[in-house]
Chain A
Amino acid sequence: MSEIEPPAMSSGISHAAPPVVAVRQVTKRFPGVLANDRISLEFRAGEVHVLLGENGAGKSTLIGILAGMQQPDEGEVLVDGRAVTIGSPRESLEYGIGTVFQHVLLVPSLSVIENLMLGGNWWQRLSRGPALARFRELSALLGVTIDPDAEVGRLSLGEQQQVEIMRALWRGEKVLILDEPTSMLTPQGVHDLGQVMRRLRDKGVALILITHKLMEAYEFGDRISVLRLGRVVGDIPPERLRSMSEAETTEAVIEMMFGSTAEHARDAETLVGRGRPVHRDRTVDRSAPPLLAVRDLETEATRGECPLRHVSFDLWPGEVLGIAGVDGNGQKHLAEVLAGQRAVAAGRIDLAGMDVTDDGVPARRRHGVRYVTDERLGEGTVGIFSVATNLVLKEIGTEPLWRRGWSDWGRIHEHARDQIERNDIRTPSEKTPVARLSGGNIQKVLLARELNTDARVAVFNKPTYGLDLQNTRIAHERIVTSADRGVAVVVVSTDLDELIQVSDRIGVMFQGRLAGIVENGPDVERRVGLLMTGAEAA
């Protein structure tokens, strides 16, 4: 942007370090979309540069170019002032650019340390000793404890992401790019990550941070750039950012993102995490029998997973039960067991008085159980299949889209166009492979698929992970409206603010147990916080 606005350049850059990496007039087109439209940005050593923008604005595409995953159609990339071609992720690493992508790219069947050693050159021997030393160094730097021999596929998403960060830092970097790194972390995790980012920044690393949470942008960022429809539409340089309050920043960013502040007041609240609870005034009738009764559930876990231990709770129609807890405390098993995707080792699940413990996914779905997974590319979708196919992935073979087993592609595509329109999924066409959509739009495909039919129990695992503020609000509203229609809802999230907004009660998972369930209300943060540390139910 500095080329476009000379005055800003003179005031903004004069006393800052020269850019280590810059893009100039970069344009990238995909079939049917202009993902990056003449973008010019500069990234400086010792600066956390935040990129903001709605879902599909082109943030991931831009860093994909820096990471060597894609080539710009026009424009150039400069490293230390020299125009370069970054032809592959390896070349990117060689230029000192390390990237943590939005979607986990680790090999799930290998151990943590094996994944980290993969980055080495193929002609070199893999030596575990030095790798372990570096692993400990980075563990200390990040302040995390992960078993280096745990199989990556068994780790929680949050832990997998920590491994990703290590992988990016593995060679000691000039630039560290983080694409929505906080969406899966607990407040504590976000705080820790912030500390890591500050330490790295003070060591002269240039950091690029993509986030949908303005609070984080304000807290961690030195400079903010806003993207919209592939263009840079605004920039807040460090001096200005330092002089602004959080509220002023929010207002300025919202204005850049959407053009006007008034109509997006609620989005702004979501963005800074200060939203009013969406449905506080509704009361749940708990005198009736519960819709879902869970008793003493236990699961078996392989190494690195956290199994369930004696989990019991009741859930009434129209009620939203939030499940809080640090990632990796059994939430995933709980969600999967409720969906019928994982067998129980002991315990019992009753749905409307009927024992459904041994029902698999199809039977539970027939009973109205819906599950929005948090692994949208891992298991939620088939990346190479079209958006249309993915929208009906759980209904293959059922009427009316299939007739006597024959696919009616005409109707499947029509159904998809309808869903795309109603859920505002940004895709060039219903036939586009789903993996080509932006992260937030893939999430919208999942939400559309699970909520389009008659649901009685809906389980959401991190439902707003990767959604921009507007879509986050829409997702929250959909959760609440389905509860209003009488659906019993379970929302698993590591974001306590989100749970406080949508839940009637909040349960806390700790080491596979449901440490306690508290009514949402004043003081809920403190009580949940107590439970999270393992204190017994208040």
Chain B
Amino acid sequence: MSIETKVDSLPGDPFRGERAREIQAAILRVLIPILAALVIGGLILLILGKNPLEYYGYVLRRGLLTWGGLQETFTRMAPLLLISAGLIVAFRAGIWNLGCDGQFLLAAVISAAVGPALIDVLPRGITLVACMVVSVLVAALWSLIPAILKSRYGINEIITSLMMSFLGISFANVLVKLFFADPGTTVPQTRDLAVVDRLPRLFDTTIHAGLLIALAVVILVHLMMTRTAFGLKLQVVGANPAAAIHAGLNVGWLTILTFAISAGLIGLGGSIEILGVWGNVRADWNPAFGLLVVPLVFLARFNGYAVIGFTLFFSALMIGGDSAARRVGVPSDFVLVLVALVLIFLAVVEYLDHLRRKRTTA
């Protein structure tokens, strides 16, 4: 599912005549699963006795067509974009970093702990930057164990990074409850970063500046992967590790670096979500964005620009789906059903496409 895709966005790859057809096929491969998922999702709603048009109508209105909803959607894009950026780096290098939720949450807690502590002594700008830097470092550090296990001992990173994710989530909770709990409330949560001290808003909206950071990071990551020597080296490691060794690339070091960058970017996502939206972390808070972003990144075929579009779609679905679910009377997790359907159809379309390709090009 992943391997053939990597070529698509390399500037140096399929040649021109084919290129237009490739892009067209790529768009179809994505639109068909989404439409099919919406149709089947609608059928499920019908079976549940709900009106699917009403549900989708609310999703659309709340997620995109009202000003308040649209702002929320944009705000939600920021962490999703940063997680995507982190996953693109890893996946293109053939490293399956599935530890995103743990990395995200730990980074979030660190920002929530450092921010209120520093703001008393440092100006706001420095505090915010310091929070982000520390969060990025902590997340990167957290990825070191699976990274070293993989590069030194060849242990599969899917399992180790997932394990570290569970550990990270629990550890984040421990931190909130035992070390950074706000003594001022009975609720186990960190001290609050006052609204005025958080990331600045964009103009008169409720959207915070983290969105701009996230967009810039995604674009930079895309350029890094497609236009720099470093990105190309990572892709060689991802596409054929034996060739990487043959070409003299330091595969072990690149693996560790990839993990660190990937986790660091995901951590940045956790940090700005706290600094921009929440201001604190409650115990047991876990948005589990990773669950959603992994399929999203696959849908986008590891392409940074495509990721931006999909993130918008998924954010709108999440924001709109939440309120639509409440109004129509289905569980708010119904969005996850839709996401699952998208995934299933994605796989089906991928398979059919594979058969078709085999018939034409082998």
Contact = CB atoms under 8 A, between A and B. Distances in A.
B230 A405 contact: yes
A384 B362 CA distance: 13
Contact of A31 (B7, B18, B233, B358): B18
B216 interface: no
Contact of B248 (A30, A31, A361, A412): A361
A385 B13 contact: yes
Contacts of A413: 12
B14 A380 contact: no
Contacts of A384: 3-4, 6-7, 13, 239
Given A380-B246, A393-B247, A396-B236, A31 B17 contact: yes
A69 B12 CA distance: 27
A381 B244 CA distance: 9
Interface string B1-43: 0011011001111111110000000000000000000000000
Contact of B12 (A70, A380, A381, A386): A386
B233 A397 contact: yes
Interface stretch (A249-257, A426-434, A512-520): A426-434
A388 B248 contact: no
A375 B4 CA distance: 21
Interface in B104-153: none
A412 B12 contact: yes
A78 to B, nearest CB: 20
A389 B12 contact: yes
B236 A407 contact: no
Nearest to A428: B15
A364 B18 CA distance: 39
A30 B229 CA distance: 31
Interface residues of A, number: 44
Q: How large is the interface on B (under 10, 10 to 19, 20 to 34, 35 or more residues)?
A: 35 or more
Nearest to A31: B18
Contact of A405 (B3, B11, B228, B245): B228
A382 B12 contact: no
B12 A379 contact: no
Nearest to A373: B246
B261 to A, nearest CB: 15
Given A31-B18, A382-B239, A385-B7, A396 B362 contact: no
A360 B13 contact: no
Interface string A346-385: 0000000000000011101100000101010011111111
A431 B239 contact: no
Contact of B362 (A64, A340, A371, A373): A64
Nearest to A378: B242
Contacts of B246: 341, 361, 371, 373, 379-380
B230 A382 contact: no
Given A341-B245, A379-B242, A384-B6, A433 B12 contact: no
Given A70-B362, A361-B248, A383 B240 contact: yes
Interface string A15-35: 000000000000000111000
A409 interface: yes
Interface of A: 30-32, 64, 69-71, 340-341, 360-362, 364-365, 371, 373, 375, 378-386, 388-389, 393-394, 396-397, 402, 405-407, 409, 412-413, 428-429, 431-433
5 contacts: A385-B236, A389-B12, A394-B248, A407-B229, A431-B13
Given A360-B250, A431-B12, 6 more contacts: A364-B248, A384-B4, A393-B243, A396-B229, A396-B232, A409-B12
